[in-house]
Amino acid sequence: MNKNQTGHRGGCLCGNVRYEVLGTMRGVVNCHCEMCRRLHGAYGAYTKVSNADFTLAEESGLAWYQSSAAARRGFCRDCGASLFWQPAGFETTSIAAGTLDQPSGLATTGHIYTAEKGDFYDLNDSLRNFPGSAEGALDDA
């Protein structure tokens, strides 16, 4: 399985948000920050792509929530699916890996914000762990 994949599609549960990725996606990073835990119920599994390589094919259900000064999160207002997050000041979109049409061809490369992880699960794999942000350390993984 490739860690990075070029050209893919995905969307929400009801289909009112669909997207296409024409460029290379980063491997999946599991984020254990409090915001991701509350949003996803455990942690967020995200790939990332340049905005230049990301296109919305259907956006009738898309809504954005400004979750902090540092980021906004995209979701479907119709089915409630969490889809994206975009950091302020960057030209990238992080895509919830579970919203990609299968097969994605991606692999999980690491864990970030492990200092904030839920107390109801353990991290028992051999992937790299970071107590906070990886600050780009996993972007090429």
Chain segment 17-43, per-residue pLDDT in tens: 999 999 999 999 999 999 999 999 999
- 3-class secondary structure for the chain? CCCCEEEEEEECCCCCCEEEEEEEECCEEEECCHHHHHHHCCCEEEEEEEHHHEEEEECCCEEEEEEECCEEEEEECCCCCEEEEEECCCCEEEEEHHHECCCCCCCEEEEECHHHCCCCCCCCCCCEECCCCCCCCCCCC
Domain ranges in the chain are: 5-117
Q: Is the pLDDT of residue 137 over 70?
A: no
Quick check: 66 pLDDT over 90? yes
**pLDDT over 70 (residue 5):** no
pLDDT confidence band for 140 (50 / 70 / 90): low
What is the chain's mean pLDDT, rounded? 92
- State the Cα–Cα distance between residues 61 and 75, nearest whole angstrom: 8
Instruction: Please check the confidence at residue 59 and state whether its pLDDT lies above 50.
Output: yes
Distance CA 43, CA 36 (A): 5
Give the integer Cα–Cα distance in Å for 44 and 2.
20
Thinking of the domain 5-117, which architecture would CATH place it in? Beta Complex (2.170)
Question: What is the pTM assigned to this prediction?
Answer: 0.90
Q: What is the pLDDT of residue 2?
A: 43
Query: Across residues 71-78, what is the average pLDDT?
Result: 97
